[in-house]
Chain A
């Protein structure tokens, strides 16, 4: 629906633009670093500079936010960019191609529409950075193509994001948040909770709560509700219907090919070997796998590729910390889903097969900049340099060690000087006035 689009695509873009505009001066300023005795008199800093031309390949599930968010960072970092929106979300791609040149400099920012052949042709060209959001399989091809020109890449991929529900938590609230997150865009979200892990004793309660939430969110029918999405195309529809094989449908399972509609479906009697567990679902199917303890859940998670995000629902902080310590994922959210994407201070990205690199807010700016180390020295004080010039002697070496290995925390030194001044002022005041 129109409101859902605004909620999930436009709001986050507006927030990112606002942040980038207000903070740009801070992000782009030279960043001083700690000096040692040897470099005490020099100016030493990291200077963010543009990389050049960035290629941004966007996905079809959130064609506007996920294609334009990296563009905001690319522009902020001073780069030119070529956008290749996904051909699968063809309407968005067409509108992007029509509108962008009307508002952005045509020479610096261009949109190239097209499918696989156009993408392959683009990938043959040389870019200074490639930013790809999409599937793992294509991510590998992008990196391989980038290898030819030694172009650095940022890959925002996916994976199966597990969602563990502790039996002692407030299952009602947990299920409401999970159901909301799962059914956004009909499950076609890279950070949607892919499957649930919980103990057998809460299985039925979880199923009931999810059913209740669906009624609450979509009134009586998801099919007629304006707020329930559709599957993007025939191919994805057929794939999803196929994934339901071999499991018991706890509820749901309605599918209408003509409309591209698949109703919210909860699957039980699912094991690690089930078809639905072999690939990222990316649809409104929610399998529930039973495990006997959090340790078993952790083991199940660690047997698989590192996910883009891991969800844990529990009132027990110790349990949450245990999951954090014993697993790895792009991100971890306790007691909610998806919302970490809204915090632009958090680096958003995967690890292992779920991706490399990170973005959002300042992280995009840093990712698409050359952080150039700069040292500005003067030709004075040449005498000091004799300790490094040949002929090398033991004495020179010991001086060099002293200078290079010294750690000069300028801020701490400054604080100590201030403290010393304050202390002497206090002593003076006491002496003079308070005797």
Chain B
């Protein structure tokens, strides 16, 4: 979390220890333009309710038009039933909330939200179970926007224009991941160019972090540094610059030794103006 990260960096500063911080944030999921609603719903449900939403890169909230929302809700319902059956609490593939403290935290969010629960909302304290829940009609200042949800609650905000949606995203801290669902590549491109995030994935969620070739990390309050694959190797290595010079051509070195004359300087200007990064000295 960010609070603990601040203490970690402060502690590290005493010994000048470099740090890598993998934090979190609210990962927005924008759905705009022409779209294959069924495929989008499947991927969104998988990414959001995987591990009961307790993933740092889970889509935290959705932004879309009212029409898209109206088409999305029944699709979400049917996919949830497809994945977790008619009684999700009995499904072995649906996780539980990790601790009583987090269960209470999430239930409080559901109590405090000014939005309407349209799917799910059931819970069982003893089992630490919260059903996959979708909330609509909450405002920007809602309890669900005050912190990273990290649970199986998906708020959907309706914003008619893509531009305003991007502004909504940019009003908040840079997230660990940003998602866009659209069949229109111009929509994807616009969102990518006008926002900033640690990672970006179009038309899916979470999977960008399964590729070890991609650096996994945040930016701003979502983190500092990155890892996975070779990036991990680099993170935990010191890339030592090594230069082995020869003993020959010592005469050439007189160009750099004092006394400094205009002639010497002319030659040196010429060597350093070369495009290649090798030095003649």
B-contacting residues of A (Cβ < 8 Å)? 1, 3-4, 6-7, 11-12, 14-15, 18-19, 22, 33-36, 38-39, 44, 46-47, 49, 51-52, 128, 136, 139-141, 143-144, 146-148, 150, 152, 155, 157, 169-170, 173, 176-177, 180, 216-219, 225-228, 315, 320, 324, 328-336, 339-340, 342-348, 351-353, 355-358, 361, 370-380, 382, 385, 388-392, 404
Contact = CB atoms under 8 A, between A and B. Distances in A.
Interface string B3-45: 0011101101110101001010000000000011011101100
Contacts of A22: 275
Contact of A371 (B226, B246, B275): B226
Contacts of A335: 244-247
B91 A390 contact: yes
Contacts of B7: 147
Interface in B218-274: 219-221, 224-226, 238-247, 250, 253, 256-262, 265, 268-269, 272-273
Contacts, number: 253
Given A7-B256, A18-B275, A150-B221, A328 B201 contact: no
Contact of A4 (B42, B85, B242, B260): B260
Contact of B16 (A51, A128, A356, A374): A356
Interface stretch (B62-70, B98-106, B150-158, B206-214): B206-214
B233 to A, nearest CB: 14
Contacts of A339: 243, 245, 279, 281
Nearest to B7: A147
Contact of B13 (A38, A140, A361): A140
Contacts of B14: 140
Contacts of B183: 378-379
A7 B260 contact: yes
24 contacts: A7-B265, A11-B268, A19-B277, A35-B213, A38-B210, A139-B16, A143-B12, A176-B253, A180-B253, A330-B241, A332-B240, A342-B279, A343-B279, A346-B241, A355-B16, A374-B192, A374-B201, A375-B207, A376-B188, A377-B202, A379-B40, A379-B43, A391-B84, A391-B92
Given A15-B273, A353-B16, A379 B260 contact: no
Contacts of B43: 379, 385
B134 to A, nearest CB: 17
B93 interface: yes
Nearest to A372: B200
Interface of B: 2, 5-7, 9-10, 12-14, 16, 18, 21, 23, 35-36, 38-40, 42-43, 46, 82-85, 91-94, 181, 183, 188, 192, 196-204, 207-211, 213-216, 219-221, 224-226, 238-247, 250, 253, 256-262, 265, 268-269, 272-273, 275, 277-279, 281
Contact of B219 (A227, A331, A370, A382): A370
B93 A150 contact: no
Contacts of B82: 389
Given A7-B260, A150-B2, 9 more contacts: A19-B275, A143-B13, A144-B13, A147-B7, A180-B258, A334-B244, A335-B246, A372-B199, A374-B200
A31 to B, nearest CB: 10
Nearest to A33: B213
Contact of A7 (B197, B213, B268, B278): B268
A136 B16 contact: yes
Nearest to A169: B247
Contact of B258 (A218, A340, A348): A218
Contacts of A49: 196
A217 B210 contact: no
A227 B216 contact: no
A46 B208 CA distance: 11
Given A140-B14, A385-B42, A150 B269 contact: no
A325 B253 CA distance: 29
A contact face: mostly helix, strand, loop, or mixed: mixed
B6 A404 contact: no
A138 to B, nearest CB: 11
Contacts of A144: 9-10, 13
B2 A336 contact: no
Contact of A35 (B211, B250, B258): B211
Contacts of B281: 339, 342
Nearest to A332: B242
A329 B214 CA distance: 29
Contacts of A390: 46, 83-84, 91, 93-94
B278 A343 contact: yes
Given A38-B210, A335-B246, A392-B93, A147 B42 contact: no
Most buried by A among B12, B188, B256, B281: B256
A148 B6 contact: yes
B54 to A, nearest CB: 16
A143 B18 CA distance: 10
B200 A315 contact: no
A173 B250 CA distance: 7
B92 to A, nearest CB: 8
B16 to A, nearest CB: 5
A6 B272 CA distance: 12
Contacts of A385: 42-43, 46
Nearest to A142: B13
Most buried by B among A136, A169, A219, A334: A334
Nearest to A342: B279
A67 B204 CA distance: 43
Nearest to B219: A370
A311 to B, nearest CB: 10
B21 to A, nearest CB: 7
Contacts of B257: 176, 180, 216-217
Given A217-B257, A388-B46, A375 B208 contact: yes
Nearest to A213: B257
Contacts of B181: 379
Contacts of B39: 379-380, 382
A14 B272 contact: yes
